[in-house]
């Protein structure tokens, strides 16, 4: 669930820094083989100090409202895109920061969790965005195996069109929190008349039925 005013502002910021991309006639192809007329690059946020500061303010407010600072002992960023956001949020929340490797490093302590994390700490996992939540499952598993308690995950942007993204996390007892979704990005595009109606309608048809859209555009459905 997203807060409507925060979601609208987040979507507007992402459009302003050109992190949101629409290309109905020349779809993007992801590594999974899935084709999509939409693509968001949250990594661009790190290069815009004013905008990233505002997004971290919104993220901090969401975390305090939906989770509670007192219910967390640390913030953990997922390698690599989640690390800067975890650092900024940890600073605002005055909490320790960790980061989680995709796999244990192949030398030294063979650590997968970097930072100091006592057994039983309540840790918030942070990443830039969520599509099908596959990477989140792996990061949560690594944190829990290291002794952390993980009940929540925060992202700037959630695709919000693949049920598995929330269902798979819910199945392991993790709630997903996001500032905005593709529905919010599309609504902002319509408000600002950023694209012609035909392009926006094509994007909406994808959001309504991504697998059906795949079948019509030659991509692999998940």
pLDDT, the chain, mean: 90
Q: What is the pLDDT of residue 178?
A: 96
- Number of other CB atoms surrounding residue 119 within 10 Å: 8
End-to-end CA distance of the chain: 23
As given in the structure block, the two tokens for residue 147 are 């002794």
pTM (predicted TM-score): 0.91
Residue 10 is predicted with a pLDDT of 97
Instruction: Take residue 155 and report the two structure tokens written for it.
Output: 């992202």
For 93-112, how does the pLDDT look when each residue is reduced to its tens digit (9 = 90+)?
A: 999 999 999 888 654 354 79
Q: What integer pLDDT is reported at residue 32 of this predicted model?
A: 64
Q: What is the pLDDT of residues 117-170, one digit of tens each?
A: 999 999 999 999 998 778 899 999 999 999 999 999 999 999 888 888 889 999
Question: In this predicted model, which residue has the larger pLDDT, 38 or 149?
Answer: 149
Q: Give the separation between CA 170 and CA 84, rounded to whole angstroms.
A: 25
Q: Is the pLDDT of residue 222 over 50?
A: no
pLDDT of residue 158: 93
Does the 4-217 domain belong in CATH 3.90.550.10? Answer: no
CA distances from 221 to 113, 196, 210, 218 (A): 33, 27, 8, 9
Geometric angle at alpha carbon 176, from 125 and 72, rounded to 5°: 45
Domain boundaries, the chain: 4-217
Ramachandran sector of residue 110 (left: φ over 0; alpha: ψ -120 to 50; beta: rest): left
User: Phi, psi (5° rounding) for residue 216?
Assistant: -85, -15
Q: How far apart are CA 124 and CA 75, in angstroms?
A: 5
Q: What pLDDT score was predicted for residue 218?
A: 65
Answer yes or no: are the C-beta atoms of 169 and 191 closer than 8 Å: no
**Res 108: pLDDT:** 39
Q: 126: which strand partners? A: 77, 154
């Amino acid at each position: 669930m997203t807060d409507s005013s925060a979601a609208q502002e987040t979507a507007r910021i992402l459009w302003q820094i050109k992190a949101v991309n629409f290309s109905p006639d020349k779809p993007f192809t992801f590594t999974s083989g899935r084709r999509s007329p939409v693509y968001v690059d949250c990594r661009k946020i790190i290069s815009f100090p004013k905008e990233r500061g505002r997004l971290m303010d919104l993220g901090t407010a969401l975390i305090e409202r939906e989770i509670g600072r007192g219910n967390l002992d640390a913030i953990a960023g997922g390698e690599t895109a989640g690390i800067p956001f975890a650092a900024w949020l940890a600073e605002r929340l005055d909490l320790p920061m960790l980061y989680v490797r995709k796999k244990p490093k192949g030398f030294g302590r063979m650590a997968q969790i970097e930072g100091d994390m006592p057994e039983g700490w309540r840790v918030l996992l942070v990443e830039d965005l969520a599509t099908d939540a596959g990477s989140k499952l792996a990061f949560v598993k690594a944190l829990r195996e290291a002794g952390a308690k993980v009940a929540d995950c925060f992202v700037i942007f959630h695709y919000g069109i693949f049920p598995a993204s929330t269902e798979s996390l819910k199945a392991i007892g993790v709630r997903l929190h996001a500032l905005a979704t593709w529905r919010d990005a599309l609504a902002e595009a319509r408000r600002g008349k950023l694209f012609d109606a035909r392009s926006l309608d094509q994007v909406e048809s994808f959001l309504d039925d991504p697998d059906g859209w795949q079948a019509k555009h030659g991509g692999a459905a998940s």
